[in-house]
Structure 1
Amino acid sequence: MRAILVGGIVRLISDWLTAAPYRAVVLNIAMLVLLLALVDSATLFALVGVSCLAVAGLVGLRGALRASFRRAAGARAAFDRVLVWLPGAAALTLGAVGLHLAVTAPAGSTMHLAGIVLFGFELVMLALPADETPAPAKAA
């Protein structure tokens, strides 16, 4: 009976993860941030956090450059280019602020916890592609 219950839970989680491709990315980032928070090493958190922000920033930069100079129906207006660059720049800035709070605030304080949550949330925002359409809802 226990094996059936565990098998059902594993199948339910597997179905949930495969329903939308971004869910696995969100789960992996949440586990990474939780692990870094549990280790409680500011040096390790800073090293891994800066590396994650750098990689996500470079990927976002590449995507923004490609979208900026893509010509759909003609030359892009300056406002359209700002709309391409602004979300990634804001997420990168807020992720850096969250990392700074998580590393410099005293462990267990409200600012420390807010920094961990902000860093994790913004890392997820940087990792998700902006042009991905959400999966359609299925009727029960």
Structure 2
Amino acid sequence: MTIQVGDKLPEVPLQRIREGVETVDTLTLFGDGKVVLFAVPGAFTPTCSERHLPGYVEHFDAFRSKGIDVACLSVNDPFVMQAWGQSQNVPDGLLMLADGNGEFTRALGLELDASAYGMGTRAKRFALYAEDGVVRQLHVEAPGEFRVSSADFMLEQLA
């Protein structure tokens, strides 16, 4: 079942790289404060690299000025997420989170079968806004679309 507005985010471990690979649970990451979490089907893929992540990089300071953290999620390993973040000049503080086995994505009910493209199970393209671990907004893209999960759209919704 897909997560809904008003639901608590599921508690699942994710990975990131700071001083090495670090496993951190979603309660620690998102349980206190405000966050926009956006997910992409794959690091280094065209729309994700040309439009999705760059929009959040460009508007990172606008989110932070509202007291909102920003996190990018993909069903990739933490080394790929680190390399992608470096290639996109991701600012310090924008979390690049790896959901390598897709556990968090499945727990959200937002998985995408990309087997036809040789990518297996991935995350649908989405963005959510949560406060203290509770989903306040959820925007899931229709297949092939990129609009409601963009940084511009999320900033409009949070105005």
TM-score (norm. length: structure 1):
0.29
Task: Answer 1 or 2: which has greater helix percent.
Answer: 1
Based on CA coordinates, which of the two structures has the bigger radius of gyration? 1
TM-score (norm 2): 0.27
Bigger strand share: 2
